[in-house]
Structure 1
């Protein structure tokens, strides 16, 4: 299968996410994974050895995943924000080669955190 330089991963199951990552991690230059549960979202970006190592550490067994729906109609705006932040990370990477490797936004608490 031919893979492009850039991959955006937007799947519901951590096991699916891990399977895609394992097969593509060495075949793409920029990887961006959007995760959400309710009104909390997390954007993980991998574009260099340090961020690839960090991303590997964010994967876990499906049985350890929090239960909940990320596809509820009441949280569609959260998905839109996640998509915008993913494109923002891509834009930063295109311009400078840099992107935040781990960004979490809790809309209910109005909190944002970055892992640098």
Structure 2
């Protein structure tokens, strides 16, 4: 009888623990475009875009973004290699966003595209 009670207790504890472990919702996972020189990520919680610069090439890493409802902008990291910059936005939670990662020589230099993401849900 003690063995059955112990098994019942263990089963109830396992169920209680399993009920507290949940995976992060898909919307909470950052969506990124990655290259060897730079990385750009969109964080759905907060609508933040972070740009990482991995190359000591004298260029800034840039994420240009566009929504499916007509907004656009860009987030630049001009701090140099092995740094990041985060830009904070407030986007419509029902929309989608697309990122284009690139390098740029100065504020107004030519934009070199490194990659473009699929459309990510914002909220």
TM-score between both structures, scaled by the size of structure 2 = 0.33
- Larger-Rg structure: 2
TM-score between both structures, scaled by the size of structure 1 = 0.34
Structure of higher RCO (CA pairs closer than 8 Å, 6+ residues apart): 1
Structure (1/2) with the larger strand percentage: 2
Structure (1/2) with the larger helix percentage: 1
